[in-house]
Homo-oligomer: A and B are copies of this chain.
Amino acid sequence: MNFIASLNAAWVRNNSLLCVGLDPDPAKFPERLKGRPDAIFEFCKNIADATADLACCFKPQIAYFAAQRAEDQLEALIAHIHATHPGVPVILDAKRGDIGSTAEQYASEIFERYQADAITVNPYMGRDSVDPYLAYPDKGVILLCRTSNPGGSDLQFLDVGGEKLYERVARLVASEWNSSGQCALVVGATFPGEIARVREIVGEMPLLVPGIGAQGGDVEATVHAGCTADGRGLMINSSRAILYAGKGEDYAAAARRVALETRDTINRYR
């Protein structure tokens, strides 16, 4: 099944718009895991197993694995999720962006080596830097549009002929880059008015929304601004608030509790 179909099925089956972000920071792991060579895999696997029926997707952030020389654990984690929770797609958050020949290498890394179902991509280098990912017809390609960080406005909020740069990116992706229906966009929860504006531009296209929880975004405003008419259309990401809900051996149970609360809070406003 392709990424978009798989996401649609997970939205319905798990009655959830929650994306569980996997940003493993060994300094925050419980004591028992510290020093174990497979600590990152073990931690993330237990979080995934505890939340898979509450999530519409998982989103490992590759930087956390790469900083720890844990590429093999990332491969094992994605393989585990596919084998154990086959209905929950995996987005590898990598925010790649490079010329075509290099993007082919990244596409091979993300889709063949890691077997991810979707990748996040930076649009700054334009259409041909995105094509190598679109060449994998079953995969999702999630373009940065309006990011949740303070500096997001430095470029994305510039006026380009009567609209903001992020609006132009949304229009370009919706009207040109998404010809095969594989695309989605990243729009931060810290800007609900802009989520609404992007929804207006892109129709039913899925939006990946980081920025609730640790970054302070408002769930009610996000849902009202971003849901499609059928109450779907969003992947609302939470990472740290779920991963580190428990500080001790109860971390997986604590993560499940917060994931459940977050899913239900989101559902209250759909």
Chain B hits for A161, CB < 8 A = 158-159
Whether A124 touches B126, Cβ cut-off 8 Å, given contacts A61-B102, A105-B63, is: no
Compute how far the CA of A215 lies from the CA of B149 in the bound complex, rounded to whole angstroms. Answer: 35
A96-107 vs B, CB cutoff 8 Å, 1 = contact: the mask equals 111111110110
Select from chain B the residue with minimum beta-carbon distance to A106.
Answer: B63
Question: Is the Cβ of A63 less than 8 Å from the Cβ of B109?
Answer: yes
Q: By DSSP majority rule, is chain A's interface helix, strand, loop, or mixed?
A: helix
Compute how far the CA of A63 lies from the CA of B147 in the bound complex, rounded to whole angstroms. Answer: 24
A9-35 vs B, CB cutoff 8 Å, 1 = contact: the mask equals 000000000000001000000000000
Chain B hits for A103, CB < 8 A = 63
Question: Is the Cβ of A151 less than 8 Å from the Cβ of B122?
Answer: no
Q: Residue A156 at the B interface, CB < 8 A?
A: yes
Select from chain B the residue with minimum beta-carbon distance to A157.
Answer: B126
Each complex incorporates copies of this chain amounting to 2
Chain B hits for A172, CB < 8 A = 154
Q: Residue A67 at the B interface, CB < 8 A?
A: yes
Distance between A259 CB and nearest chain B CB, rounded to angstroms: 20
Question: Is the Cβ of A147 less than 8 Å from the Cβ of B106?
Answer: no
Compute how far the CA of A29 lies from the CA of B168 in the bound complex, rounded to whole angstroms. Answer: 42
Q: Residue A48 at the B interface, CB < 8 A?
A: no
Query: In chain A between 16 and 70, which residues have their CB closer than 8 angstroms to a CB of chain B?
Result: 23, 61, 63-64, 66-67, 69
Question: Is the Cβ of B113 less than 8 Å from the Cβ of A149?
Answer: no
Chain B hits for A154, CB < 8 A = 123, 126-127, 172
Lowest 8 CB-CB distances: which A-B pairs, in order? A126-B151, A126-B154, A63-B105, A128-B151, A127-B151, A67-B105, A67-B108, A99-B149
